[in-house]
Amino acid sequence: MKFTFDREKMLAAFQPAASVAPSRSPKPILQCVKMIGTENDAILMATDTEVGIRVSVEGVSIEVPGNIVLPVDLFGNILRESSDDQLTVVVDGAEIKVTGGSSNYSLPSQNADEFPDVQSVEGDASIQIAAGLFGELVKRTIFATDNESSRYALGGVLLETEGNNLIAVGTDGRRLAKMQGPVEISGDVRLGESSTIVPTRSMNLIARALGDPDSVVQIIPKDNQLAFKTESVTLTSRLVEGRFPKWKDVFPSRTDGSKIELTAGTVYGRLRQASIVANDESRGITFTFSDGTLAMDATAAERGQSHTEMPIAYAGKEVGVSLDHRYVEHFLRVLDSEAGFTFDLEGSQAAVLLSTDDGYSYVIMPLARDR
């Protein structure tokens, strides 16, 4: 096999493929990226047996078609460190020779036929969603998942369809994040029923590989997998086995509560100040809403106390709740600093609901006020 390629374009395609390859594996060949070169195109593929990816590469001239297995660490470093715009790769027996205008390398070669196949995915039934919106669904839910849970299948993001909306849900049992947005559905596609759970790692990989936020992502169900497909990338993932909790039951249903409108950046700054004295044993921050003021207080043994205040548009009765400051920070960090959100609370013992007007909701269970 022999081919010449544009180094920057190859690097852009190689990085998402390499991110799927495991850093350690009992099968060393999985720590590589396989390239298939034909007269018409060049495809990179990688897998860890749970997730598989196919990436089409632009700027490649195939002189001798064939297959090659490229070691992720060595070939990736060549792509990053080389100063040559064009590089040529030749497979010569047990060696891979990489040549540029100012450098050349000789790398070990493996049998490309031993690499597990990552098949392309086609289907008339699919969900189409804007890549930018899908990225937001991932970013706003993935931090709430729990890979250590043995009771429920919490080590991933649940995807459900409801009408023409796609809903993503992540939870660890102490807080729950939900984001939804509009999609187009072709054919008979239904996701949900507490079983379409995509592993956390897969969702991270998909989000990083999306590219242009204005592009379209196709979600295609296949057996016990989901495929996520853009114009240049196809990523397939096995689903998490097990059942997801009945997440709709978690959302508070009340009429006698306080709903306060706040700005993410301002609250985040004050929360960071209040959490300076917090530690692993005492993570609670008490949020107290009174006439025109939000106060945040923290106390930790051997670390002291903190108190911060900020003006707010609130004229109701005084109400307070203690929350794990990390959980609140996670919500605020995925929002723009100027974004507005609603802080919905009923009292010190009831769940708190944080929400935005673009389909994002976040439920946090309270801590005991004496923490």
Is the separation of the CB atoms in 348 and 366 below 8 Å?
A: yes
- Polymer length of the chain: 371
Contacts of residue 241, Cβ cutoff 8 Å, sequence gap at least 6: 153
* pLDDT recorded at residue 213: 81
Please check the confidence at residue 328 and state whether its pLDDT lies above 50.
yes
Contacts of residue 107, Cβ cutoff 8 Å, sequence gap at least 6: 70, 71, 74, 75, 95, 96, 97, 98
* pLDDT recorded at residue 173: 92
Domain locations in the chain?
2-114, 126-248, 253-364
In Å, how far from its chain's centre is CA 370? 35
With CA atoms as reference, report the closest residue to 167 among 117, 201, 127. 127
Q: What is the pLDDT of residues 142-152, one digit of tens each?
A: 999 998 877 77
- Tell me the pairing of strands 233-238 and 319-324: unpaired
Is the separation of the CB atoms in 237 and 197 below 8 Å?
A: no
**Out of 28-37, 116-125, 159-168, which region has the weakest mean confidence (pLDDT)?**
116-125
SS3 state of residue 312? coil
Distance (Å, whole) CA 103 – CA 154? 49
Mean pLDDT (the chain, rounded)? 92
Distance (Å, whole) CA 187 – CA 54? 24
Is the separation of the CB atoms in 268 and 332 below 8 Å?
A: yes
Q: Domain 253-364 sits in which CATH superfamily?
A: DNA Polymerase III, subunit A, domain 2 (3.10.150.10)
**Out of 85-89, 234-238, 280-284, 367-371, which region has the weakest mean confidence (pLDDT)?**
367-371
SS3 state of residue 324? strand
In Å, how far from its chain's centre is CA 205? 7
Please check the confidence at residue 192 and state whether its pLDDT lies above 80.
no
Is the separation of the CB atoms in 358 and 313 below 8 Å?
A: no
* pLDDT recorded at residue 371: 44
Q: What is the pLDDT of residues 200-219, one digit of tens each?
A: 999 998 888 877 788 899 99
User: Counting Cβ atoms within 10 Å, is residue 32 exposed (0-12), middle (13-18) or buried (19+)?
Assistant: buried
Contacts of residue 197, Cβ cutoff 8 Å, sequence gap at least 6: 153, 155, 156, 157, 158, 159, 239, 240, 242, 244
User: Topology of domain 2-114, per CATH?
Assistant: DNA Polymerase III; Chain A, domain 2 (3.10.150)
Place of tokens 């080590």: 155
* pLDDT recorded at residue 309: 96
Contacts of residue 53, Cβ cutoff 8 Å, sequence gap at least 6: 16, 17, 20, 44, 45, 46, 47, 118, 205, 209, 233, 234, 235, 236
**What number of other Cβ atoms are within 10 A of residue 173's Cβ?**
14
Is the separation of the CB atoms in 45 and 57 below 8 Å?
A: no
Our CA angle for 271, 272, 278, nearest 5°, is 95
* pLDDT recorded at residue 188: 86
Average pLDDT over residues 8-37: 94
Q: pLDDT grade, residue 123 (50/70/90)?
A: confident
Distance (Å, whole) CA 227 – CA 145? 21
In percent, how much of the chain has pLDDT > 70? 98
Of 279 and 348, the one with more pLDDT = 348
Distance (Å, whole) CA 261 – CA 113? 59
Please check the confidence at residue 199 and state whether its pLDDT lies above 60.
yes
Q: What is the pLDDT of residues 271-315, one digit of tens each?
A: 999 999 987 777 899 999 999 999 999 998 888 999 999 999 999
The dotted CATH code for 126-248 is 3.10.150.10
